[in-house]
Amino acid sequence: RNIASFGGNPNDVTISGCSAGGGSVEFLTISPIARGLFNKAITDSGAVLGVVGPQDDPIANAKLYAQHLNFTNVDDINALEEFYTSASFELLLAGSELIVTGFYGSSLLFAPCVERDVGEEMFLSDTPVNIIQSGNYSNIPLIYGFSEMEGLLRIDEFNDLKDRMNQKFTDFVPDELQFESETQKEEVAARIKEFYFGPEGVTEANILAYVNYFTDVLFAYPMLRIANMRRQSLGDTIYLFQYSFVDENTPLVPHTNVRGADHCFQFFAVTNEDVTNATDEYKDMKEIMRQLWMDFITIGNPTPAGSSLPSWPAVSGYLSPFMTINATSRVELSPLLGDRARFWDAIYEQHYRQPLTPSNAGIASA
């Protein structure tokens, strides 16, 4: 309601975010307490799966972080609660280096979690997958997508991680997967490594495969899996895209002559930034992105009748159609990520682990 005081329309609100912000946007679209507050959403490089998805085991995470802050009575749930509610802000931030966990920053320690019902409003009353598959969420139009080389987020660690990946690839399997045994995990890890890197493993020669791997496991595949669930559940109107614009100012990927759109580059193309030294091509790209986003925000369609851009239809099949956004933007009819998405489909269908809920975390009566 307050948006009216700033010239906005409380009956036509669009939310947008990238990375953790993109995940936050999607969490809001499935939260029961946010139902009816938003009319459209733009989710960039983040979803309710993957790196910015929910915590798997919030009690274990709370214990881990408390111990890191030198609190020892972690097995008493009431004492643990008292510690967190009484600790100073400075103390709670003292161990912030532990908040990003998993295989080199693959998950967040204090992401949203499924909450206990204590008679108050619950932000997340069930797991995101259950909520979406049940259809118990707000069906609003979405722009949904990512940059082509999101995995460049991990390029500075390449020299270290390539050796670690070659030595023990099981450490790099997504945290949200589960296995019956360590042997099974090793078998799946070997399949993944072979799929992306072949028999030679991770090398400078296939650094683009390294980029693709982190693109897929951190951001792209989790987004695509959720997009497909939404389509199958309520037939959501989803405008799917991949941003791949580069110009002479875009850095070369090390050991290649290739330039790539890095994590959240599509988001920066929409926002205000200093373009003093930008190329004319990038300035044009910003105009295109802003027009797409503005038409979606105001009309609900990124390419309404009369648009100078190729008509961008909503998803109607398996991860298609989608828009490739670059200097020669075009609509693609084949599934986004194609074989890479199908590869992960098979793994997630067999090994995806739902986050713990209060009823199966042993704290229902705590």
Q: Does some domain include residue 66?
A: no
- Domain of 324: which CATH number? 3.40.50.1820
How far from each other are the two terminal CA atoms of the chain, in whole angstroms?
A: 37
Residue 185 lies in a domain: yes
- Mean per-residue pLDDT of the chain: 91
Q: What angle do CA 339, 344, 350 make, to 5 degrees?
A: 135
pLDDT at residue 359 greater than cutoff 90: no
Tokens of 195: 């799929």
Q: What dihedral do alpha carbons 286, 157, 345, 223 form, nearest 10°?
A: -30
Q: Dihedral sign for Cα 249, 254, 256, 260, please.
A: negative
In a domain, 181, yes or no: yes
Amino acid identity of residue 161, one-letter, is L
pLDDT the model gives residue 366: 39
- Let me know: does 235 contact 315? Beta carbons within 8 Å: no
Is residue 14, in this structure, part of any structural domain at all?
yes
User: In Å, what is the CA distance from 63 to each residue of 66, 84, 110, 341?
Assistant: 5, 10, 12, 35
Task: Decide if 335 contacts 318 (C-beta within 8 A).
Answer: yes
pLDDT at residue number 120: 80
Distance of CA 278 to the CA centre of its chain: 28
Instruction: Indicate the pLDDT class of residue 150, thresholds 50, 70 and 90.
Output: very high
The answer to whether residue 184 is domain-embedded is yes
Is the residue at 77 inside a domain?
A: no
pLDDT at 107 over 80: no
Q: Which two tokens stand for residue 45?
A: 């490089």
pLDDT digits (tens, 9 = 90+) for 2-16: 888 888 888 899 999
DSSP letter string, 105-120 = T-EETT---PPP-SSS
Write out pLDDT tens, residues 190-249. Answer: 999 999 999 999 999 999 999 999 999 999 999 999 999 999 999 999 999 999 999 999
The number of folded domains in the chain is 1
Domain that holds residue 192: 2-54+111-360
Residues 6 or more apart from 91 whose CB is under 8 A from it? 69
pLDDT tens by residue, 255-306: 999 999 999 999 999 998 899 999 999 999 999 999 999 999 999 999 999 8
User: Within the chain, where are the H helices?
Assistant: 20-30, 58-68, 77-86, 89-93, 128-134, 158-167, 182-197, 207-215, 221-234, 265-268, 280-299, 339-351
* pLDDT of the residue at 109: 79
For residues 251 and 297, what is the distance between their CA atoms, to the nearest angstrom? 32
Q: For residue 101, tell me if it sits in a domain.
A: no
Query: Is 366 a member of any domain?
Result: no
d(CA 200, CA 159): 16
